[in-house]
Amino acid sequence: MLDYLLQIIPTIADGLKVTVSLFCIVWILSIPGGILMAMLRLSKLPLVDKLVDAFVYLMRGTPLMLQILFVYYALPIITDGAIQMDDATAAVLTFVLNYAAYLCEIFRGGIQSISRGQYEGAKVLGFTYSQTMRKIILPQMFKRVLPPLANETINLLKDTSLVYVLAMNDILRITKSIVQRDFDISAFLVAAIFYLIFTFILTNIFNYLERRFAVYED
C-alpha cells in the first residue's frame, strides 16, 4: 500500500497548481472587495448601501456551487452567448464575489466596533476621511477581525474543491479520477493529508499574527 501511495502522490500534487492558484487569487482579490463593500454599506449614499446589502444577502443566501454553475452554464444561455467565460475565469469571478460578500460582513462589524472618538480625533488632526480609514480605522479593524478572517480563509481553501464541477484539475478531481481508475480509495487519504497540511500552515500563520498584534497592544 505504501508503494502505491508514493506512486500517486506526485499525480495528486499536480492538482496543487489549480488549488493553490485559485486560493491565492481569490484571497488577494476578495479582501479589497470586501473592504470596499463594507465601506459602501456603511456609507450614506442613496440606494448604494441598499444595493450592496441586497448583493451580500444574495451571495450569502445561495450555495456557492449553485453560483458557480450559474456563472459558467446559465449566464451564457441567459445572455444568448454575449457573456461567456472559460472555467478558470468563471471560478475566480464567482469565488471572489462570494467571499467578498462574506468578508464584507466581517469587515463591517470590525469597522463598527471602533469608537466614534477615533474619527473625531482624526478630524481634529486634519485627516481626510480616506486618510482616517487608511491610517487609523482599517489597521485596528484588521486586528479585531483576524479570528473570523482566519476561519473564512480556511473555508476558502476547502471550498476550492468545488471547482471539480467545472472539470478543473484540482486536487479533488485528480483524486476522484485515480479512485475510479484504480478502484482504490487510498487516494482520498492522500488528498486529505494535503488539505490538512495547508490548513495547519494557515492556522499557524494567523495564530502568529494574532500573537504579534497582541504584543503591540500590550
CATH number of the CATH domain containing 132: 1.10.3720.10
| DSSP assigned state of 134 | I
- Identify the sign of the CA torsion 180, 182, 185, 189: negative
- Average pLDDT by stretches of 10, the chain with 218 residues: 86 93 97 95 87 96 97 94 92 98 96 88 86 88 94 96 92 93 92 96 95 67
Q: Could you list the residue range(s) of the whole structural domain that residue 147 is in?
A: 2-217
Label residue 169 left, alpha or beta by phi (over 0 means left) and psi (-120 to 50 means alpha): beta
**In this predicted structure, what is the pLDDT of residue 218?**
47
**In this predicted structure, what is the pLDDT of residue 170?**
93
User: Helix (H, G, I), strand (E, B), or coil: what is residue 26?
Assistant: helix
Q: What is the CA radius of gyration of the chain?
A: 21
Q: Kindly tell me the burial class for residue 172, based on how many C-beta atoms sit within 10 Å of its own C-beta (0-12, 13-18, 19 or more).
A: buried
Q: Quick one: CA torsion of 113, 114, 116, 121, rounded to 10 degrees?
A: 180
**In this predicted structure, what is the pLDDT of residue 217?**
57
- Cell numbers representing residue 57 in the block: 444577502
Q: Are the C-beta atoms of residues 99 and 152 closer than 8 Å to each other?
A: yes
Q: Are the C-beta atoms of residues 94 and 68 closer than 8 Å to each other?
A: yes
- Cell numbers representing residue 32 in the block: 479589497
Q: Are the C-beta atoms of residues 153 and 205 closer than 8 Å to each other?
A: no
Short-list 192, 155, 196, CA closest to 171: 192
CA 217 to chain CA centroid, Å, is 27
Number of domains in the chain: 1
Q: Kindly tell me the burial class for residue 177, based on how many C-beta atoms sit within 10 Å of its own C-beta (0-12, 13-18, 19 or more).
A: middle
- Cell numbers representing residue 2 in the block: 505504501
**In this predicted structure, what is the pLDDT of residue 121?**
87
